[in-house]
Amino acid sequence: MRLTLFLISLILVSCGASESKKPGYRVKWIKYRATSEEEAKIQISLWDQKAWLLNGGGEAVLETDVATGVAGKESPQGVFEVLERIESKRSNLYGKYVNEATGEVVIEKAWEHSGEVPAGCVYEGIAMPYWMRLTWYGVGMHVGKFKKRIRSSFGCIRVYQKAQLLIYQKTRIGTPVEIVSQSLQEQFEF
What CATH number did the domain enclosing 105 receive? 2.40.440.10
> For every one of its 190 residues, what pLDDT tens digit does the chain have, with 9 covering 90 and above?
554 443 444 333 333 433 444 468 999 999 999 999 999 999 999 999 999 999 999 999 999 999 999 999 999 999 999 999 999 999 988 999 999 999 999 999 998 888 899 899 999 999 999 999 999 999 999 999 998 888 999 999 999 999 999 999 999 999 999 999 999 999 987 7
- H helix intervals, the chain: 2-17, 29-34, 161-169
Alpha-carbon distance of 55 to 35, in angstroms, equals 5
User: Would you say residue 3 lies in a domain?
Assistant: no
Identify the pLDDT of residue 1: 53
Provide the number of structural domains found in the chain. Answer: 1
180 within 8 A of 46, measured Cβ to Cβ:
yes
User: Would you say residue 185 lies in a domain?
Assistant: no
Domain that holds residue 46: 20-180
Identify the pLDDT of residue 2: 52
Angle at 140 between CA 136 and CA 143, to 5 degrees: 150
